[in-house]
Amino acid sequence: MNILRQLELEHMKAAIPDFGIGDSVDVHYLIKEGDKERVQIFSGTVISLQGGGTRRSATIRRLVSGEGVERTFPLHSPRVADIQVRERGVVRRAKLFYLRGREGKSTRLDPNLGKLQHPRSRKGSGKAKPAGQ
């Protein structure tokens, strides 16, 4: 294993939940105000996942008083305290940027009521094992 990959593995968080595009999540983010720190919860829908390893990040979108707010969170950052999956969504796209032009009920996604067939977030090296092994 090369040295860069070893360093990357040392700084990765061990417990990131399995979530994917279209899921509704709560991101607990540490906010520093003056000399105090507090946890602020950002609730929304995952519209994109990008990167790999320690550079992995997720873009979360929510509506605040009719305005769309998007924020990109680096998943392995020490400022991200916790991520909780509230609801899984069924989508057929890798990026949900089309939600930017929608308002109200048209931004809703179908819920995934069954269990997942396979994990949706990349873990480890990012390579999936072939079926049957």
DSSP per residue, 19-32: --TT-EEEEEEEEE
Does residue 10 fall inside a structural domain? Answer: no
Confidence of residue 16 (pLDDT cuts 50, 70, 90): confident
Closest CA to 41 of 57, 65, 25: 25
Does residue 7 fall inside a structural domain? Answer: no
Residue 49: CATH number of its domain: 2.30.30.790
Q: What is the pTM of this model?
A: 0.77
Does residue 126 fall inside a structural domain? Answer: no
The token duo for 106 is 């048209």
The token duo for 34 is 């003056």
Does residue 1 fall inside a structural domain? Answer: no
Domain count, the chain: 1
Domain that holds residue 82: 24-101
Does residue 86 fall inside a structural domain? Answer: yes
pLDDT score of 6: 87
